[in-house]
Structure 1
Amino acid sequence: MPAPLPPPAVRDLGRTEFAECLAAMRAYTDGRGEDGADEIWLTEHPPVYTLGQAGKPEHLLRPSAIPLVRTDRGGQITYHGPGQAIAYVLVDLRRRGYGVRSLVQRLEQATIALLAELGLAAARRAKMPGVYVADRKIAALGLRVRHGCSYHGVSLNLDCDLAPYDAINPCGYEGLRATSLRAEGVAYGRTALLGSWAAAIGAQVAAPVKITRR
């Protein structure tokens, strides 16, 4: 039996422009080869709306000074901005032995576990990728798989301005509300939180595939 693969390496990029980070993810994915290392990139972006590859522009409800960028991930429209943490997950799914659906569940579970450590009860929803606190979305998720490897990832609202969500149907769902740790009254230390989140994501990415025997 081959030795288990280690968790991805973590890189803290600080604040990056969305378009530049997207280009870097694509370049890394295209050039990594069969032995390229899996990585988690932590970042945040200046204000930007991003629309998934099959996204519908009408989910932007009114004109906004915030730029709208069409991208190649799955899903509809979402918002990124200061005070939101993003973990981009560059993983060779073929080598890990599971598919994109499993990666989605692993990213959700890592985020739910982190929030539980902070005393906040969160959950996933059927057919609505992401993480929710009651009826409010606190983490959005979108992925792209190229050459068997993932990029894009999951965003978590820490203390971001929630007003930009009023101009969209978040993730394509009319009336869906967004929330953040600050809005939920959760105290945290940013550096420690990012470290714990990256560690939780890494552990989930590296967790062995469960085999069900009949």
Structure 2
Amino acid sequence: MNESKWWPRPAPYLEVWEAMRRFTEARDSQTPDEIWLVEHTPVYTLGQAGKPEHILNSADIPVVKCDRGGQVTYHGPGQIVAYCLVDLRRLGIFAKEYVALLENVAIQVLGEVGVHGARLKPGAPGVYVPAPADQLAKIAALGIKIRNGCAYHGLALNVAMDLAPFSGINPCGYEGLQTTDVLGCGIAADVVTVGNLLAARLAQAFSGYHDAMPA
């Protein structure tokens, strides 16, 4: 796998999405996998099965209909998005296994910075942390697209951001779902530090599959 690549910060969503699609369409069986680290300008993205009614009030934030799985989410400054451009077929990773890998890495990274994250339940991908009133708040969301065995899109982890725009949507299609970030969990962290750690742990996870491949 190539080293991770930071996009200029903050980056417009459409620009990065189009670049991911071009990369995926042009790659062949020998193309090295890549991880792109991005901090986006404010944007709501609606997945392939996304329902417009989950956008409650977009205000002046643009809405982009994209080709990832999942419903609606928000990207903005203070959130790190790791786009994983990975040949899953080459590594022998199935879709459900890949989703679990992304969740496991997010939980690992949160643990390393001092936050206890966990899954919620099957069918509700992402990572959650304890919130007041015995609730759970989402701290990491994921959405993927697989084309010809190759994945793009990836994992978004809230680090230190303005969470107010999440109130303009039903996050991930769940009415009343709380969201939080690493800072809201009482941990001071910056996007670059967490992003680099996330990329390193993702690369290690993928390398485990690569090392297991037959020679």
TM over 0.5, yes or no?
yes
Give the match's secondary structure for 1:36. coil
Contact 1:103 1:205 in 2 (8 A): no
1:208 Cα offset (Å): 3.0
The one-letter amino acid paired with 1:130 is G
1:14 aligns with 2:8: yes
Which of these residues, 73, 77, 83, is aligned with residue 78 of structure 2?
83
- Give me the TM-score of the superposition, normalised by structure 2: 0.91
1:193 aligns with 2:189: no
- Structure 1, unmatched stretches of 5+, are 1-6
1:130 aligns with 2:131: no
* Match in the other structure for 1:119: 114
The one-letter amino acid paired with 2:5 is R
| CA RMSD of superposed structures (Å) | 1.5
The one-letter amino acid paired with 2:97 is S
- Structure 2, unmatched stretches of 5+, are 131-135
Give the match's secondary structure for 1:91. strand
- Give me the TM-score of the superposition, normalised by structure 1: 0.91
* Match in the other structure for 1:4: none
* Match in the other structure for 2:88: 93
Q: 1:67 to 1:164 in 2, by over 3 A?
A: same
* Match in the other structure for 1:183: 184
CA distance in 2, matches of 1:80, 1:14: 15
1:82 Cα offset (Å): 0.6
Determine what percentage of the aligned residue pairs are the same residue.
48
Aligned length: 204
The one-letter amino acid paired with 1:131 is V
1:205 Cα offset (Å): 2.0
